[in-house]
Amino acid sequence: MASDKTILVTGAAGFIGFHLCKRLVNDGYAVTGIDNMNTYYDAQLKQSRLDILLKLPGFRFQAIDLCDKKNIDRLFVENRFHYVVNLAAQAGVRYSLINPYAYLESNMHGFLNILEACRHATVKHLIYASSSSVYGANTKMPFSVHDNVDHPISLYAASKKSNELMAHTYSALYKLPTTGLRFFTVYGPYGRPDMALFIFTKAIIEGKPIDVYNNGKMKRDFTYIDDIIEGMVRLIPLIPAPDLSWSGKHPDPSSSFAPYRLYNIGNNKPVELMHFIDVLEQQLQRKAVKNFLPIQDGDVPETFADVDDLMRDAGFKPNTPIEEGIEKFVTWYKAYYNVK
């Protein structure tokens, strides 16, 4: 095992974490995964993901909560991680309207524990999940990492923006190289049950109506999981250096005088929600009963990722069409849930 290929993935039993761990093991990394296995959604789905990972040589798992500083610190003392990918977080815009305190605990307190541990362990590169939700009230399309994002419209978005600010502080104070990844509506096999594709698929199969917000006038930059993972694995070894052209007079939010970077990872092709539903109906060979509703608090009407920086630095652009991605999801869903 190459000495520089030891990596910690937090949220390893989550949707993105599961797929990332599989890929990293395949790529020759020694992967340690942690997860608190909470019950925000179906714990059995998380366990199914974990069961697959535990069969892989090169993968180890510990059940640890990010907020458990004592055990986080112990983990870093007992291991020499060259890279850390922080994916553990309380997810979901809509849930943040119901249970805001969960977001401060996991997304900020937990992230601080990771930052402190990485600082003291002199980790080579910390990569962490941000979100397209940080663009908030921005309407300039496509969303660019070079634009200001100071108007979040959900506490989830605010917590992710806070992660970017916290990471910059540690990059500036302690020269800890950090890269934040703004994910755009990730979907695919083993996806989250609280996401639209999962909810719609289950309801259509069961003959139940689906809630279509903003009367269907939503656009999302749906990004297939394999594209997210490809972007991530290319960025892990790309350790950011200070940007010598950065100026405090005209500060670019995406880089810094510190070893700090931000990237969008999105499909760069927004899809109308009604087209998304049409494709799903075709794959399921069933029509959806649609319940049209106004836009929900905290939601934005459109997302659209500018991925020029990702293409320039990682040489990669997500490109899986929605038709192909939904087909793969439906095939997985039917097999996993034994749908005839």
Given a contact cutoff of 8 angstroms between Cβ atoms, the answer to whether 163 and 171 are in contact is no
Give me the helices (H) in the chain, please.
Answer: 15-26, 43-54, 69-78, 101-103, 110-120, 155-174, 196-206, 225-235, 273-284, 308-314, 322-336
Residue entry with tokens 């200001």: 148
Which region holds residue 15: left if phi is over 0, alpha if psi is between -120 and 50, else beta?
A: alpha
Residue 263 structure tokens: 């990237």
DSSP one-letter code for 127: E
Given a contact cutoff of 8 angstroms between Cβ atoms, the answer to whether 184 and 264 are in contact is yes
Given a contact cutoff of 8 angstroms between Cβ atoms, the answer to whether 280 and 203 are in contact is no
The span from the CA of 293 to the CA of 299, in Å, is: 13
The span from the CA of 182 to the CA of 145, in Å, is: 9
Q: Is 190 a catalytic residue?
A: no
Sheet holding 178-183, edge to edge: 59-63, 30-35, 6-10, 83-86, 125-131, 178-183, 260-265
Torsion, Cα 160 105 222 149, to 10 degrees, reads: -20
Kindly report the number of other CB atoms within 10 A of residue 199's CB atom: 15
Q: Tell which residue, 37, 35, 33, 78, has the closest CA to residue 59.
A: 33
Given a contact cutoff of 8 angstroms between Cβ atoms, the answer to whether 299 and 332 are in contact is no
Active-site pick, 128, 156, 224, 263: 156
**Residues designated as active site:** 156
